[in-house]
Amino acid sequence: MLALNVIRLRGERGWSQEALAFEAGLHRTFVAHVERRARNISLDNIEHLAQALGVRVDQLLKPLSEA
């Protein structure tokens, strides 16, 4: 769910992976790995992504119907 929500929210903002990475203080390749589900992610980095996207952490982890 995390990857799908990050992709959806990033798309809603019209941001590239690079733009999201910049806003979150992360590397673009890290964001790409998260979106492809190729990398585990710490709670700290989930918080960084949530803050950059302007949502609560739990919204990144819920299915779309619940978010």
Helix axes 2-13, 17-24, angle to 10 degrees: 100
- pTM (predicted TM-score): 0.92
Task: Give the pLDDT score at 27.
Answer: 96
Q: pLDDT tens for residues 14-65?
A: 999 999 999 999 999 999 999 999 988 999 999 999 999 999 999 999 997 7
Distance separating alpha carbons of residues 52 and 4, to the nearest angstrom: 16
Contact present, 1 and 63 (Cβ < 8 Å): yes
Contact present, 67 and 59 (Cβ < 8 Å): yes
Helix axes 17-24, 43-53, angle to 10 degrees: 110
Mean pLDDT of the chain: 94
Domains of the chain: 2-60 (1.10.260.40)
